[in-house]
Structure 1
């Protein structure tokens, strides 16, 4: 599980960087940015899978489609659920809807915890229950304050848990499944990049965009790949709770991009930040306990070895 936690934290930090990274992609609009993100991420992902020995996962899914053509319908559905989220992630900050998108990521962990408890019968610790209570307070206040739930918020909160749940059901919860999610949307990306708009002329006028797009592909591969692997290694509840780190970083990134938290919004964000703090404390205490257990085990082993040595001398 430690590996899954590290991957989840890495993904959250990478997503925080990506949210701010959109500034380097101007003057590309949200559709052009999405298109180049897909076109640049797939090669990096393919190289990483070749390096890690996971390329066989791609062929494995292809063979399943050949044997069960209906499997293609799930892959198309999976690609839609995944890539529309990726589009929304970039569309939000570019169009001044970053806080609505980040609120969706605030609500997302609650829905994922609910799925974990109801469908997988996973248990919560006292710290986790307290964190959920604080997060629920913050999210409820925001919905009450706005008087409605923005469509961006609702879509993120519902579509992602459905996506991760169905990935486990159809056994595509690995990098091979994610590779197909991206591969199936490449025709759309080509249309948006070269037919819907002339993004090549924009890149020609702003040469820095070449490096920006390459960086976008690398960061996307790093963040999304880590996120998908974390979803495989972690229980649904833990995976959901760790996702709280991401919206905190997205909110800060949104403020760095010029958006501001109003006075009546603090009761939304402070409880959620406190929830993240509780999870950090719980994680730190768990690491400390594990280290203490390891030290005790080493001491006991050393004491036993000395005792055996003494007995042999006798």
Structure 2
């Protein structure tokens, strides 16, 4: 198991394999997150709170099956009886619930470009957390990549007319979620199950309240019900991949990978949801990819030297 404070030593074969697996997991998580707005767009008639409640419950069920098959349900009890880790779980669960609710509400109200912008900001939050709280440092090429990203995000902010609440909320909530998951040394599946377990009573109470006061409602439509059930794996799978990656990569590396999801969300906003694209936003999008290219080049160069 690697230390939560530092990245694995890439000079050893096992550590190199761990890092490579972390890279693939991060790529998988951010690609899935990039296309997630499409699912919630199809559920726009359900309401953001109900969607979050349903995705919590279906995620919990899926994770229970996974942990049961793996024989690791006992790990959850161990986590919940550890007071220090329970405190971290409460924080990470609250951050996760806020992030989910804000994300779904933004899609529901036709603000996917702001979702994209929020996740463009998110890597800078990770960089700041990694530098200030974990003592991570960047070399010259990494610093150039981050500087280009800062310029790109400043241009994006100008195109949006200022930094919106949605963007800041998404960036900060998920940035600190990643920090707590990295430093708490929680297993991917067991940690996520414990988090959803803590959110589940509120989700179940809301669903029960809605059914008691409004009847079966959206649950009567088979297609909507199928999409709500699918929100479970659509939620749990990328989070499991993310939790796996965050234990094996530096926060600054994770931060640069996170440009992939907002780039895809940016395209989804324009192509699928037909949100307005102007020259300023397009310029910032191009600079983000330049930043990622510089960072990737530096990573490959250092790996080749190692």
TM tier, smaller: 0.7 to 0.9
Q: 1:188 to 1:114 in 2, by over 3 A?
A: same
Q: 1:84 to 1:129 in 2, by over 3 A?
A: same
Structure showing greater radius of gyration is 1
Q: Report the alpha carbon displacement of residue 119 of structure 1 after superposing the two structures with TM.
A: 2.5
Contact 2:181–2:243 under 8 Å retained in 1: no
- Taking the aligned partners of 1:96 and 1:14, their CA distance within structure 2 comes to 20
Query: Tell me, which stretches of 5 or more residues in structure 1 are unaligned?
Result: 294-314
For 2:64, the equivalent position in structure 1 comes to: 46
* Cα distance in 2 for residues equivalent to 1:95 and 1:247: 18
Q: Counterpart of 1:242?
A: 257
Q: Distance in 1 between matches of 2:121 and 2:78?
A: 34
Aligned to 1:31: 49
Unaligned runs of 5+ in 2: 1-18
Find the partner of 1:59 among 77, 102, 113: 77
Whether 1:95 aligns to 2:113 is no
Equivalent pair of 2:48/2:104 in contact (CA under 8 Å): yes
The aligned runs of 1:216-255 (5 Å cut-off) are 216-255=231-270
For the residue of structure 2 that corresponds to 1:185, the secondary structure is helix
> How far is 1:264 from its partner?
2.9
Distance verdict in 2 for CA 1:61–1:273, change over 3 Å: same
Alignment of 1:1-314 (within 5 A): 1-65=19-83, 72-172=86-186, 174-196=188-210, 198=214, 200-204=216-220, 206-255=221-270, 256-282=272-298, 289=304
RMSD of aligned alpha carbons: 2.5
Structure 1: how far apart are the matches of 2:77 and 2:190? Answer: 8
Shift of 1:146: 4.2
| TM-aligned CA distance change 1:136 to 1:52, over 3 Å | farther
Q: Secondary structure at the match of 2:82?
A: helix
Q: Quote the offset at 1:3 in angstroms.
A: 1.0
1:173–1:231 CA contact under 8 A, matched in 2? no
Matched pairs, number:
285
Deviation at 1:105, TM superposition (A): 0.6
Give me the TM-score of the superposition, normalised by structure 2: 0.83
**Residues 28 and 199, structure 1, Cα contact 8 Å, conserved in 2:** no
TM-superposed CA distance for 1:30, in Å, is 1.4
Contact kept, 8 Å, 1:20 with 1:254, in 2: the verdict is no
Residue matched to 1:299: none
Shift of 1:217: 1.1
Deviation at 1:98, TM superposition (A): 1.4
Is the alpha carbon distance of 1:148 and 1:199 closer, same or farther for their aligned partners in structure 2, counting shifts above 3 Å?
A: farther
Change in Cα spacing, 1:13 to 1:145, as seen in structure 2 (3 Å) is closer
For residues 64 and 85 of structure 1, do their structure 2 counterparts lie closer, same or farther at Cα, with a shift above 3 Å needed? Answer: same
Contact residue 105 and residue 246 of structure 1 kept, 8 A: yes
Question: d(CA) in 2 for partners of 1:180 and 1:26?
Answer: 28
1:163 positional shift: 2.4
State the Cα deviation string for residues 209-243 of structure 1 (Å, max 9, x = none): 22212222112111111111111121111111111
8 Å contact kept, 1:57–1:175: no
What TM-score comes out, normalization by structure 1 length? 0.81
